Structures are given as C-alpha cells and as structure tokens.
Chain A
Amino acid sequence: MGRYVIRRLLQMIPVFFGATLLIFLMVNVMGDPVAGLCGDRQCDPATAAQLKKEFGLDKPVWQQYLTYMGNVFTGDFGTAFNGQEVTELMANAFPVTIRLTLVAILFEIVIGISLGVLTGLKRGRPVDTTVLLLTLVVISVPTFVTGLLVQLLLGVKWKWIDPSVSSAATFDELIVPGLVLASVSLAYVTRLTRTSIAENKRADYVRTAVAKGLPRRRVITRHLLRNSLIPVVTFIGTDVGALMGGAIVTERIFNIHGVGYQLYQGILRQNTQTVVGFVTVLVLVFLVANLLVDLLYAVLDPRIRYA
C-alpha cells in the first residue's frame, strides 16, 4: 500500500509540471502580461519595457516558469492587479468554492445513486423510462441555461431563493447553485449506477446472498451496491476537478465570489499571477482526488491489492 502511494505520487509530478507549464505558456506567450497593468489604456512602450524588466518578463519563458514555480513552493503566489496577495484571494475564494463543490457532490451521491439504484432494480418499468428520459434532457441542456432558468423561476418569479448569493455564501444559500452545478454530473451518476446495478443484479454472489436468506435490504446495500459503486466512485472522483473548474459558469450566474469568480476577473484583467496561481491549485486538487479514488477501490473491492 505504502509503496503504491509513493509510486502514484511520483507519477503525479510530471503531470503536475506539464499541466502548469501548459497553462503558464498559454497565459504568458499568447497574452500580453503587462497589458492589464495600465488600466484600459495601452501602455506606452517605455513603461511596458520598464514593467517587463521589473517583473523579469524579459527573460526566456522557461526561466520565468522556474522562477514562478520556485516562488510557489515557498508559498508566494505573487500579487493580483489590485495589489492584494494572490494567496489572500485564494484564502477568501477557496472556502466558498469548496462549500459549493461539497453541496454539488452531496447531491450527486444522494440523489444520483438513489435514482440509479431505483432505476437499476426496476429496469424497463415506467419509473426507469421516465428517469432515463429526464437524465437525457438534463445532460442536453447546458449548465448555464439550467442556471439562468432556475434563477428566473425560483429567484425572480416565485421568490423562493435570493437570485444572487451574498458574499458570506453560507451552505443554505448554496443549495440551489450546488444543484445546478451538479445537474449534468448527477444525470451521469444516475445512468452509471443504473447500468452497474442492472449488470450485477444477475451476479452469482447476489443469488447466493438471496439464497442464504439475507433480507433484501442487506443484499442491496452490502452486496449489490458495494460492488456496483466502483465505476461511480471513479466518475465522482474525476468530477471533483471538473466541478471546481465548471464552477466558473455557476458562480457567474449566481454572483458567488469563489474560485470561478476570481479566475474570471483574473482572465478579464489579464492578470497572469491570479490565473496561473488558481489553476495550479486546481490541478493539484484534481490529481489528489484521482489518487484518493484509486485508494478507495481497495476499500470497495478487497480483491484489489496494491503492491
């Protein structure tokens, strides 16, 4: 187990540096990092040259990347456009987005898996067909359309919720945005669980469990569900990164000041430090989530051994 974790951690290193280098190149080579520093006007060439020298932007890109990464590992993510430390922005933004992602994942697990089990057990019945059609519709409507419609109906027409979330962004304010963020993945989780349950329902171990007289409830939760959850856990694990990145859209619609909001501002104002810093952390989150998923396999399926 220990050796496996170490090997996986070593494998993460090139992926981490590759992904951050890719983003670094996109931002630095394709954009003009000093353009955002002179406000809406264009910088005059002398100022631009001075600024470039000051930030070390006249050096080759690989050197800039090494300097940046060196700073990141000492906890220095640079400063944002308004003089705030990027780490300070992160300290404010990440808790909000983590809350939002937690709400979304909770919805995926609770609603997605329950619907999946229900439809998988009742395959071919009207319940199954209805839920399947619903998931198709949810998958087809892009998240930003779902978000706008939910905001229009619940927030403006029926006044059940506040159309925009306050800066505190407490859990109860994030319920509806979390559901919107989760919607597409929720539909995928439902369909994955359904397929998996329907496949395993006919497995020998389920028949054995029923034959030895276990109550139906125990057969489903202890035997059927545990074996069917492996693909679902994989999906939810890889989805953590996608959810935090996809939060850009949801956070923009509901005016939530989280990671997506800061990233969007950083990109609009061409603030290299904010963008690269936030993306670096997101990539790390994604990699760690994937590692955790692989370790969870052993818990779900004891036949899997890590050497």
Chain B
Amino acid sequence: MPEMPEHHDEGSAIASTGAGGATDLAMSEAETLEKVPGGPDGTGPDKKARSLWSDAWHDLRRNPVFIISGLIILFLVVIAIWPQLIASGNPLDCDLSKAQEGSQPGHPFGFNGQGCDVYTRTVYGARASIQVGVLATLGVTLLGSVLGGLAGFYGGAWDGFLSRITDIFFAIPVVLGGLVLLSVVSNNSVWPVIGFMVLLGWPQISRIARGSVITAKQNDYVQAARALGASNSRMLLRHITPNAVAPVIVVATIALGTYISLEATLSFLGVGLKPPTVSWGIDISSASQYIRNAPHMLLWPAGALAVTVLAFIMLGDAVRDALDPKLR
C-alpha cells in the first residue's frame, strides 16, 4: 500500500462518507465474514494517527481470509506465468488412444476426450483466466474511473450524457451482449474477450467513481484548496483522487472474480476463448458431452475455476472490510 501524505491522516472520516456514498451492491452488502477479534488498536493517544491505507493494511495482515485468499492468488499468478514449474508435460500433447481414461501414475487427473493430460491442461488453464481477469479489470477500472471521476468532478452536460450512456449499457444483459459481439470475432487470442469486458464493464466502475468523487469534492479541504487557488488538475490529483479511490478498488477486486467466471461462461458457450488456447471454460464445455462416462474430465477444471473465483471474491471481501470504516 502506498504511504499517503501527512494531511490525509484524517482519512478515515473522509473515506467513510466516500464509501457510504457508493450505492453499488457490493458496497451496500457490507461485512461478510466475521473479522478477527482485536481489530485496530492504533487509536491510543500515544500512537501516531494512521492513514486509512496503513490502517487497512494493519487490519488485512491479521485477517485469515485475506491471508488464505492472498496465498491462493499468489500461487495462481506464479503458475500462470511459469506453468512448467509444476506441470512438465505439454497441454497440447494428446494421445487419442488414451481418451477418457481415468487417473494413472504420472497422470493424476486422467485424460480428456482427446486424450490430453487433464492435470497439465488444468495447470496451463490458469494463464488464460488470470490474464483475462487482470487485464479486463485494469481496463475497466482505468476507463471507468477516468470517465466517471471527470463526470463527477465537472458535472454539467457531460455528466448527464455519461449517466444516460451508463443506463444504456446497464440495460443489456452481459452474457447476451457477449454472445452477440463475440460470435462474429474469429480472432482466437484473449484480446477480443478482454475488449468486450471493458466495453460492457466500465459503466459499473464509472458509477462508483462518479459517486465517490462527488462526495469527496464537497469536503472542506477541497473548498479550501479551491480558495487557495489550486488548479482543477491539482485538486483532482492531490485532494480528491486519494480520498475517492477506496470504493473503486473494492468493487474492482470483486469484479475480477466475476470476469474470470464470465470468461469461462463465454468459452463454455463457444464464443469466448477458442482452441488452441487452453482455458478451463473450453475444457469444461468439451467435457460436458462425456459427463455420464467420465465426470473427472469436468470436475478438475471446474474445481480449479471455482477456487480461483472464490479466492478473488474473498480477497475483495477482506479488502472491503478493511477499507470501509463504518464496520470498524
């Protein structure tokens, strides 16, 4: 977590209004897992006041949910970058004579319908999921917070226009939009899927960012900065952004899990990632035809997918608990 400058030390009160102003579901559905007893003990008179961020980090380090999900995500990121660390085989190396066979020495998860090793494919599948999840979240967060933040700061016609645009995007069901848009794309890299998610995902972040910027800009210190003659860009970067970013981070973390799930759903429907890309969604889709005879082909990639999504959602929950001072 970045160290915040001194004058943001009263940050918890400020961010409290910021977090409360966001009306997203993920935010209003507060507190999920019980926090560890003890809580923040830095309020004593002899201790130096902490910023929201160091306070949140203090909380997170003691939260078992954060530690477990963090370790799972770290592991997933490592095998997404270097899958050969734990899987020596080649995921595209298949032997049709072994199709649908169960587990064997050296092949703990058995073989799939084309006779590829299910363990190797499950390990290599992490790459596509993590790539899509992380890049889509980055794109959505950047686009959404810039558009929403500027709309919230400047208001006026641009704000009204942007709000109508977000209304339009909210009216289109996501899976449906994905089917329509991606069914005409023949490129089989991860980029069309990421592009689609950014296109349909930014309004969610934009609404949150707009709300929290509007809350932050009404604070006294922003008025004071304006009175001292600070430029718009200085007020935005130095005073508003640091105090409005917390709700966006929370929603983005939870959204990361749902993007991974969405990628698998689209791949299952045949419009997401396409072979030879190795993806859990594709493997689950092809295994579903043999579900009666060889359920193991489905269970391993499905389990990996569920654990990955769970880890990101738990991480988002823990971050929200730490950043939302109302729950302290």
Given known A23-B180, A31-B184, A152-B295, contact A246–B288 (CB-CB < 8 A): no
Residue on A with the closest CB to B312?
A140
A42-50, A103-111, A263-271 - the one binding chain B: A263-271
Contact between A231 and B179 (Cβ–Cβ < 8 Å)?
no
Residue B34 CB within 8 A of the other chain: yes
Q: Smallest CB–CB gap between A90 and chain B, Å? A: 15
Stretch of B138-146, B163-171, B228-236 lying at the A interface:
B163-171
Cβ of A241 and Cβ of B173 under 8 Å apart? yes
Task: Say yes or no: B171 contacts A283, CB within 8 Å.
Answer: yes
Contact A249 B175 (CB under 8 A): yes
Give the segment of B81-89, B217-225, B237-245, B257-265 that binds chain A.
B257-265
A275 within 8 A of B: yes
B-contact 0/1 string along A260-303, CB 8 Å cutoff: 00011001101000010001001100110000000000000000
In the assembled complex, B269 has its CB within 8 A of some CB on chain A: yes
Interface of B is mostly: helix
Given A245-B174, A246-B173, A136:B181 Cβ within 8 A:
no
Is B49 among interface residues, defined by CB-CB distance under 8 A? no
The residues of A that contact B33 with a CB separation of less than 8 Å are: 129, 132
**Which residues of chain B have C-beta atoms less than 8 A from A279's C-beta?**
172, 176, 180
Binds B, one of A13-21, A71-79, A210-218: A13-21
Closest to A275 in B: B180
On whether the beta carbons of B180 and A145 are closer than 8 Å, the reply is no
Contact with A along B19-50 (1 / 0, CB 8 A): 00000010011111110000000000000000
The CA of A199 and the CA of B265, in the complex, are separated in Å by 35
User: Does A19 lie within 8 Å of B291, measured CB to CB?
Assistant: no
Task: Verify if B284 is at the interface (C-beta below 8 Å from A).
Answer: yes
Q: Which residues 96-147 in A have Cβ within 8 Å of B in the complex?
A: 124, 129, 132, 136-137, 139-145
The reply on A192 being an interface residue by CB < 8 A is: yes
How far apart sit A188 and B164, CA to CA, in the bound complex (Å)? Answer: 26
Enumerate chain B residues within 8 angstroms of A191, measured Cβ to Cβ.
29, 32
Given contacts A141-B306, A142-B265, A279-B180, contact A148 B168 (CB under 8 A): no
B165, B173, B180, B284: which contacts A242 (Cβ < 8 A)? Answer: B173
Residue A255 lies at the interface, judged by CB distance under 8 Å to chain B: no
- Residue of A124, A152, A188 touching B25 (CB-CB under 8 A): A188
> Given the known A-B contacts A30-B181, A268-B183, are A132 and B32 also in contact in the complex, defined by CB atoms under 8 Å?
yes
List, in ascending order, chain B residues with CB within 8 A of A268's CB.
Answer: 183
Contacts of B31 in A (CB 8 A): 195
B28→A145 contact, CB < 8 A: no
CB distance from A23 to the nearest CB of B (A): 6
B292 within 8 Å of A (CB atoms): yes
> A124, B34: Cβ atoms under 8 Å?
yes
In-complex Cβ contact of B313 among A139, A148, A199 (8 A): A139
Would you call B184 and A23 a contact (CB within 8 A)? no
Question: In the complex, are the beta carbons of B172 and A231 less than 8 A apart?
Answer: no
- What are the residues of chain A within 8 A of B175 when measuring CB–CB? 245-246, 248-249
Contact of B265 among A18, A136, A144, A282 (CB under 8 A): A144
Shortest C-beta distance, A257 to chain B (Å), equals 17
Contact: A249 with B268, CB < 8 Å? yes
Which of B30, B165, B179, B261 is within 8 Å of A248, CB to CB?
B179
> Of A142, A152, A231, which contacts B291 at CB under 8 A?
A152
Assuming A18-B165, A241-B171, A283-B172, is B310 touching A264 (CB within 8 A)? Answer: no
Question: Judging by beta carbons under 8 Å apart, are A129 and B34 in contact?
Answer: yes
Task: Say whether B171 contacts A19, CB under 8 Å.
Answer: yes
The smallest beta-carbon distance between B221 and chain A, in angstroms, is 29
Contact B314 A136 (CB under 8 A): yes
Question: Are A148 and B180 in contact, with the CB atoms below 8 A?
Answer: no
Q: For residue A267, which residues in chain B have a CB less than 8 angstroms away from its CB?
A: 179-180, 183, 271
| A136-B310 in contact given A152-B295, A283-B171 (Cβ < 8 Å) | yes
A136 shortest CB reach to chain B, Å: 7
A66 on the interface (CB 8 Å rule)? no
Please, which residue of chain B has its CB at the minimum distance from the CB of A244? B173
Is B284 within 8 A of A148, CB to CB?
A: yes
Task: Give CA–CA (A245, B200) in the complex, Å.
Answer: 14
Give the docked Cα–Cα distance between A22 and B196 (Å).
Answer: 13
Name 26 A/B residue pairs within 8 A (Cβ), A-sorted.
A15-B164, A18-B164, A26-B181, A124-B34, A132-B32, A136-B313, A139-B309, A139-B313, A140-B306, A140-B309, A142-B265, A142-B268, A142-B305, A145-B302, A148-B284, A148-B288, A151-B291, A152-B292, A199-B30, A241-B173, A245-B174, A246-B173, A249-B265, A253-B288, A270-B183, A283-B171
Query: Given contacts A23-B180, A192-B28, could you give 16 more A-B pairs where the C-beta distance is less than 8 Å?
Result: A19-B168, A26-B180, A30-B181, A31-B183, A32-B184, A137-B310, A140-B309, A140-B313, A141-B305, A142-B265, A145-B264, A188-B25, A192-B29, A195-B30, A263-B176, A279-B172
